[in-house]
Structure 1
Amino acid sequence: MLKRLVLIVTATIFFNSSLTLAESKKPKPPDKFPPSPLEITTPDPLLPRSPKDKQPLTLEERQKLEPALDALNEEAAAKLQAGDNVGAFEIWNRELRLRRFFGSLAEVQALSRVGAVAWNQNDSQEVQYINQRLQTIQKQLESQKISAQTDLELWRSLGQAYQNVRSFKLAIEAYDQVLLAVRQQKDTAELVQTLQTIGEIHLSWFDYPKAAPIYEELLSLATSQGERVKEVTYLQRLAEIYAQTQQPQESLNVLNKLVEIYVHENNLTEIPVLKLAIASNYESLAKKDPNLVVEAFKTYQEAYTTAWQLQEYVRAGEALQKLIALYRSQGQIDEALQTSQIIVDTQAQAANFYGMMQAYDQIGQLYVEHKDYPQALTAFKKGLELAQQLKHEEAYFNEQIAKVSKANL
Structure 2
Amino acid sequence: MGLRLIFIFTNIVTSVIIWHFGISCTWAVNKKDEDLNRFPPNPLEVNIPDPLLVNLDLNNLTQAERQKLNLALDELHQEALTILQNGDSQGAFEVWNRELRLRRVLGILPEMEALGKVGEIARNENKREQVQYITKRLQSIQKQIFKERSSDLKLWRSLGNTYQKIRNPQLALTAYDQVLMNVQKQQDVMAEMEILETMGELHLSWFDYVEGAKVYQKMLNLATNRGDKIRRLKYLQELAYIYDQGKQPQGAIEILNQLIDVYTSEGNLTQIPVLKLAIASNYEKLAEKDPNLLQEAFSNYQQAYKTAWELEQYTRAGEGLQKLIALYSSQKQVDAALETSKILIETVTLANDFYGLMMAYKEMGNLYLEQEKYSQAMKAFSEGLVIAKQLKHRENYFQQKIDQIKLNNN
- Alignment TM-score, normalising by the size of structure 2: 0.81
**Equivalents in 1 of 2:344, 2:297: separation in Å?**
19
**Equivalents in 2 of 1:56, 1:206: separation in Å?**
47
Give the letter aligned to residue 66 of structure 2. Answer: R
Give the Å deviation of 1:321. Answer: 1.0
Partner-residue secondary structure (3-state), 2:211: helix
Give the Å deviation of 1:370. Answer: 1.6
The answer to whether structure 1 residue 48 and structure 2 residue 49 are counterparts is no
* Contact in 2 for aligned 1:147/1:177 (Cα 8 Å): no
* Contact in 2 for aligned 1:148/1:177 (Cα 8 Å): no
**Equivalents in 2 of 1:148, 1:201: separation in Å?**
23
Structure-1 residue corresponding to 2:8: none
Structure-2 residue corresponding to 1:379: 380
**Equivalents in 1 of 2:181, 2:310: separation in Å?**
50
Structure-1 residue corresponding to 2:101: 97
The answer to whether structure 1 residue 167 and structure 2 residue 168 are counterparts is yes
Q: Which moved more, 1:219-228 or 1:92-101?
A: 92-101
Give the letter aligned to residue 256 of structure 1. Answer: N
**Equivalents in 2 of 1:316, 1:49: separation in Å?**
80
Partner-residue secondary structure (3-state), 1:46: helix
**Equivalents in 1 of 2:97, 2:156: separation in Å?**
22
Give the letter aligned to residue 301 of structure 2. Answer: Y
Partner-residue secondary structure (3-state), 1:306: helix
* Superposition RMSD in Å: 3.0
Structure-2 residue corresponding to 1:111: 115
Q: Size of the alignment, in residue pairs?
A: 378
The answer to whether structure 1 residue 261 and structure 2 residue 262 are counterparts is yes
The answer to whether structure 1 residue 351 and structure 2 residue 352 are counterparts is yes
Select the residue among 120, 132, 151 that pairs with 2:136.
132
The answer to whether structure 1 residue 57 and structure 2 residue 61 are counterparts is yes
Structure-2 residue corresponding to 1:207: 208
Structure-2 residue corresponding to 1:9: none
Structure-2 residue corresponding to 1:38: 44
CA 1:56–1:315: 2 relative to 1, 3 Å: farther
CA 1:268–1:72: 2 relative to 1, 3 Å: farther
* Contact in 2 for aligned 1:374/1:408 (Cα 8 Å): no
Q: Which moved more, 1:106-115 or 1:154-163?
A: 106-115
Q: Which moved more, 1:234-243 or 1:278-287?
A: 278-287
**Equivalents in 1 of 2:78, 2:264: separation in Å?**
54
Give the Å deviation of 1:29. Answer: 11
Give the letter aligned to residue 48 of structure 2. Answer: T
Give the letter aligned to residue 67 of structure 2. Answer: Q
CA 1:268–1:86: 2 relative to 1, 3 Å: farther
Partner-residue secondary structure (3-state), 1:342: helix
Structure-1 residue corresponding to 2:219: 218
Give the Å deviation of 1:242. Answer: 2.6
Structure-1 residue corresponding to 2:371: 370
**Equivalents in 2 of 1:309, 1:78: separation in Å?**
66
The answer to whether structure 1 residue 234 and structure 2 residue 235 are counterparts is yes
Deviations 1:85-126 (A, max 9, x none): 666544433322211001222211221233233334444343
Q: Which moved more, 1:29-38 or 1:247-256?
A: 29-38
CA 1:299–1:103: 2 relative to 1, 3 Å: same
**Equivalents in 2 of 1:288, 1:219: separation in Å?**
29
**Equivalents in 1 of 2:394, 2:162: separation in Å?**
56
Structure-2 residue corresponding to 1:190: 191
Give the Å deviation of 1:403. Answer: 2.4
Give the letter aligned to residue 67 of structure 1. Answer: L
Structure-2 residue corresponding to 1:315: 316
Structure-1 residue corresponding to 2:9: none
Give the Å deviation of 1:311. Answer: 4.7
Structure 2: runs of 5+ lacking an equivalent: 1-33
CA 1:259–1:41: 2 relative to 1, 3 Å: same
* Contact in 2 for aligned 1:38/1:93 (Cα 8 Å): yes
**Equivalents in 1 of 2:264, 2:271: separation in Å?**
9
Give the Å deviation of 1:383. Answer: 1.7
Select the residue among 149, 163, 170 that pairs with 1:147.
149
Q: Which moved more, 1:238-247 or 1:253-262?
A: 238-247
The answer to whether structure 1 residue 329 and structure 2 residue 330 are counterparts is yes
Deviations 1:220-240 (A, max 9, x none): 101111222221221122223
Structure-2 residue corresponding to 1:18: none
Partner-residue secondary structure (3-state), 1:128: helix
**Equivalents in 1 of 2:352, 2:102: separation in Å?**
69
Structure-1 residue corresponding to 2:26: none
Q: Which moved more, 1:174-183 or 1:53-62?
A: 53-62
Give the Å deviation of 1:348. Answer: 3.0
**Equivalents in 1 of 2:40, 2:352: separation in Å?**
66
Q: Which moved more, 1:360-369 or 1:328-337?
A: 328-337
Give the Å deviation of 1:276. Answer: 0.6
Deviations 1:41-78 (A, max 9, x none): 3332322358xx97463444323312332344455556
Structure-2 residue corresponding to 1:6: none
**Equivalents in 1 of 2:305, 2:82: separation in Å?**
59
Partner-residue secondary structure (3-state), 1:266: coil
CA 1:307–1:48: 2 relative to 1, 3 Å: farther
Deviations 1:319-347 (A, max 9, x none): 11111112223332222112212222333
Structure 1: runs of 5+ lacking an equivalent: 1-27
CA 1:81–1:338: 2 relative to 1, 3 Å: farther
Deviations 1:171-194 (A, max 9, x none): 122222222222222221221122
Give the letter aligned to residue 108 of structure 1. Answer: M
Give the Å deviation of 1:30. Answer: 10
Deviations 1:357-380 (A, max 9, x none): 211110011101122111001111
